[in-house]
Structures are given as C-alpha cells and as structure tokens.
Amino acid sequence: MATTGERIKKARLRAGMTQTELADRVGLKFSAISKYENGKVVNLKRETIAALAEALNVRPSYLMCADEEDLASTTNPDEDIILLSRAAKKMSPEDRKKLIDMARLMFDEAFDDK
C-alpha cells in the first residue's frame, strides 16, 4: 500500500506541478512538500491534508490512504484538459502548433457527422 507521501507525489506529478508550485498553492515552503513526499513527516495536520487535497484535486481520504481508490477516479473530469494546457505551455512553439493542429483536426472530425 502506498504511503501518504507517495500519494502526494503521484497526485502532484499528475497535476503537472513542481514541489515549489504545490508549496506556493498551499502556503507552505518547498522543503515541507519535499519532506512530506519523502516520508520525513508522516503526521500531517488536517488543515494541511485538506489544503493539499484541494490543490491537487483529490479527496483528502486518498492522501491519507484511507481508501484504495485509484487516483484517476478521484480527480476532476476536466483534469486532462488542465494537464494538456500545462504541458502545452512547456512545449516548443513547433510542438505546440502540432498539438493545436491535431486537436483542431480531431474536433472537426468529431462534429462532421452532426
């Protein structure tokens, strides 16, 4: 079974955030997030768990290992769009254009029959 730290890291990576970005979102220092993820701090306050869960768009029970739910089933349905947008911002202009062109093609095909 995964630890709280492992689940925080998994959710953070899935959200496309760095430890610094997550820390900024929840009002903590980078070093705190690093310690949580590495298991150096295991008794997190309820408020901290709640803030992390909100920032990572997961249930607090997921982070606390109180359930066995897969991370994918605990996230917002729009998360893939958010992740795609974050990834696009990090792409080269050429790769971003390819992605946009592909999305336009897929969109056009999806609505051709309607």
> Hey, what domains does the chain have and what are their CATH numbers?
4-74 (1.10.260.40), 79-111 (no CATH)
1 close to 65: Cβ distance less than 8 angstroms: yes
Higher per-residue confidence, 81 vs 63: 63
**Token pair of 99, please?**
């992605």
- The answer to whether the predicted template modeling score (pTM) of the entire model surpasses 0.75 is no
Residue 80 has pLDDT above 80, yes or no: no
**What is the three-class DSSP state of 111?**
helix
Q: Which of 9, 75, 59 lies closest to 36 in space, CA to CA?
A: 9
11 close to 40: Cβ distance less than 8 angstroms: no
**Token pair of 95, please?**
């790769």
61 close to 67: Cβ distance less than 8 angstroms: yes
Please, what sign has the CA dihedral across residues 5, 13, 32, 45?
negative
Confidence tier at 99 by pLDDT (50, 70, 90):
confident
